[in-house]
Amino acid sequence: MTDIGRKTRSSSVTRAIGVLGDRWSILIIRDAFQGARRFKDFLERSGASRATLANRLRSLVSHGLFRRVKYLDAPARWEYRLTDKGRDLYALSLSAWRWERRWAPRGAGIPARLHHHDCGHPMLPETSCGHCGELLGIRAVSYRDGPGAHARAPALAVRSRRLSALTSADQRGSQSSLTHIVDIVGDPWTPLVLAAAFFGLSRFDDIQRELGIASNILSTRLELLVRQRIFRRRLYSRQPARWEYRLTDKGRDLFPYALVLNAWGDRWLAAAAGPPYQLLHRDCGKVIEPVVRCSHCQRALLPTAVAAAAPGSSRRGANLAAVSRAV
């Protein structure tokens, strides 16, 4: 295995996927940031079956993203409240919202705008370097070995390796926001294929060798990413016919989401030795600490300071992250 492959498979992204690498876990986190905390609330919003929801909540509690608290008025029932580790995913939710706002189909239930209470202005969340403040894009980032460069790669959970048959088109829950990005990242293998592309790999054999992925699984994920217009195929050999898979603008726009997920994994899931690699910002030369900021005032966005206007609503909206009710 080459250097890129070893880093990809042992990376903080891979560890984060072990916690959040399926559709339902991501939607549960989404709903928690919108104020859900009881089983019936998650059931209605996500559209998961009762058995699936119970399984994912149990897993998220065991991974320390939620803590269970008994109702005051019903001792036999539980609320699920975000821990510090769970609340630290807020920037990831904002990155997902930014991507959905640009790429989800019209009428998909994405709030038309966000308002930042601290400055009082409508804004977009922007992912920038915590040192120099410049926006972070794929071409501005390089990497070097980190303290955990030789850490053993974690195994992906067997239960979540299968690609979900459900998509945003047949979403059954009452909430439709962020379901389109989950079609792409709500699976443990697809984000790793994307990570390989972010490292510059584009050919089937190279991606398969670096990730150690079965050919049928890789074929399915590449077909999905082409169908979703994340990749475009380009013929580079005619005899036999061979294809490269190149990121589109829609695909490159997922890079901030990957940066934020990697940073969360570095903080909470890295091996004892530390993360396997460090991302460097070419503009300032420092190790990247991504910060999701307000596009108007440039302050970091906190959960209780952001409000979303619902589609078709004239109200400034309920708090996108009603963490005061969810924690």
Question: 63 versus 310: which is more confidently predicted?
Answer: 63
Mean pLDDT across 151-156:
60
**How crowded is the C-beta side of 88, counted as CA atoms within 13 Å?**
17
Mean pLDDT across 28-54:
94
Mean pLDDT across 225-230:
96
The distance of Cα 92 from the centroid of its chain, to the nearest Å, equals 6
User: In angstroms, rounded to a whole number, what is the distance separating the alpha carbons of residues 255 and 259?
Assistant: 6
User: In angstroms, rounded to a whole number, what is the distance separating the alpha carbons of residues 157 and 23?
Assistant: 14
- Which pLDDT score, from 0 to 100, does residue 172 have? 82
- Which pLDDT score, from 0 to 100, does residue 128 have? 96
- Which pLDDT score, from 0 to 100, does residue 13 have? 85
- Which pLDDT score, from 0 to 100, does residue 7 have? 58
Structure tokens given for 293: 């900021």
Question: 287 versus 319: which is more confidently predicted?
Answer: 287
User: In angstroms, rounded to a whole number, what is the distance separating the alpha carbons of residues 56 and 213?
Assistant: 25
Q: What angle do CA 253, 188, 126 make, to 5 degrees?
A: 25
Q: How confident is the model at residue 181 (pLDDT cuts 50, 70, 90)?
A: very high
Mean pLDDT across 217-228:
95
User: In angstroms, rounded to a whole number, what is the distance separating the alpha carbons of residues 45 and 179?
Assistant: 11
Predicted confidence (pLDDT) per residue in 105-146, tens digit: 876 667 767 999 999 999 999 999 999 999 999 999 998 888
Domain residue limits at 16: 3-326
Number of compact structural domains in the chain: 1
The pLDDT of residue 164 is above 80: no
- Which pLDDT score, from 0 to 100, does residue 11 have? 77
Structure tokens given for 65: 């993203």
User: In angstroms, rounded to a whole number, what is the distance separating the alpha carbons of residues 9 and 5?
Assistant: 6
- pTM score of the predicted model: 0.89
